[in-house]
């Protein structure tokens, strides 16, 4: 039995390093976090790369939609300089590169941004024999359903944003959707959580994760409520909070 929530490095150690890069993942591993979260999208030629936005504009020196660029074009972009010149030369990694780096050292949460990539993601996980240490998470219930249809044993979480917190009824409807698509847990914005709602999930054997928490006092409040996992851009701060 765990005595504290799982600490998830959100997009790697993204509070101090370029998000969704191998450097951010390496630094998260050095912290000995419990898990790393990342985002997967498909390029024009079907390669699976790790990037949050649907364009490369914010986190690279390039521009354009991911779906309109080839892997070769994307691999030439600098994905580190925007965070600091000391990170110049970092590239946007592929899902395969991240799997090779992590190799089950910690849990990896793969957020599927585009449901149509689900089959390709599962095939990549199968090739790397990663089913035992990867969770699939998504805002899209379709992606969860497709995952469970193909590999029922892969743990999955349905993600919910601020909008599901408007009322207990709205939150409970989201929980129903979570159960209906076969997910094992919810991953929701911290503003949506109350002790009552967490208890409601636990009664239905759903784990409760929350994002994105960078404040110590907020983390302590959520821990007191009974959350099972906390995603943070500053996992070092969260680990220090747990230790205290």
User: What are the pLDDT digits (tens) for 6-55?
Assistant: 999 999 999 999 999 999 999 999 999 999 999 999 999 999 999 999 99
Residues 171-193 have a mean pLDDT of: 98
Mean pLDDT, residues 204-217 taken together: 98
Annotated catalytic, 128?
A: no
Average pLDDT over residues 215-230: 97
Average the pLDDT over 72-82 and give the result.
98
Quickly state the pLDDT bin for 137 (edges 50, 70, 90): very high
The pLDDT of residue 2 is 64
Average pLDDT, the chain: 97
Average pLDDT in the 84-98 region? 98
Q: What percent of the chain stands above pLDDT 70?
A: 99
- Of the pLDDT bands very low, low, confident and very high (cuts 50, 70, 90), residue 127 is very high
pLDDT at 1 over 70: no
10, 91, 128, 140: which is the annotated catalytic residue? Answer: 10
Contact 215, 187 (CB under 8 A): no
> 172: pLDDT confidence band, cut at 50, 70 and 90?
very high
Region 154-175 average pLDDT:
98
What is the spatial distance between Cα 79 and Cα 62, in angstroms, rounded to a whole number? 9
Whether 119 is catalytic: no
What is the pLDDT confidence band of residue 244, given thresholds at 50, 70 and 90? confident
């Amino acid at each position: 039995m765990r005595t504290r929530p799982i600490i998830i490095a959100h997009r790697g150690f993204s509070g101090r390093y370029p998000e969704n890069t191998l450097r951010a993942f390496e630094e998260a591993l050095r912290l000995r976090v419990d898990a790393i979260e990342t985002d997967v999208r498909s390029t024009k030629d079907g390669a699976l790369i790790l990037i949050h936005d649907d364009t490369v504009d914010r986190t690279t020196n390039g521009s354009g939609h991911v779906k309109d660029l080839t892997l070769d074009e994307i691999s030439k972009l600098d994905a580190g300089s925007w965070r600091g010149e000391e990170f110049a030369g970092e590239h946007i990694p592929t899902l395969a590169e991240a799997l090779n780096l992590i190799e089950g050292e910690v849990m990896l949460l793969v957020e599927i941004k585009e449901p149509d990539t689900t089959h390709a993601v599962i095939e990549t996980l199968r090739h790397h024999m990663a089913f035992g240490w990867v969770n699939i998470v998504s805002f899209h219930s379709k992606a969860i359903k497709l995952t469970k249809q193909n590999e029922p044993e892969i743990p999955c979480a349905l993600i919910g944003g601020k909008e599901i917190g408007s009322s207990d009824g709205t939150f409970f409807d989201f929980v129903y959707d979570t159960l209906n698509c076969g997910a094992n847990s919810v991953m929701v914005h911290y503003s949506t959580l109350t002790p009552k709602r967490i208890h409601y999930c636990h009664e239905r054997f759903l784990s409760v994760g929350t994002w994105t928490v960078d404040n110590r006092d907020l983390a302590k409040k959520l821990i007191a409520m009974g959350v099972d996992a906390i995603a943070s851009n500053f996992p070092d701060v969260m680990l220090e909070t747990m230790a205290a």
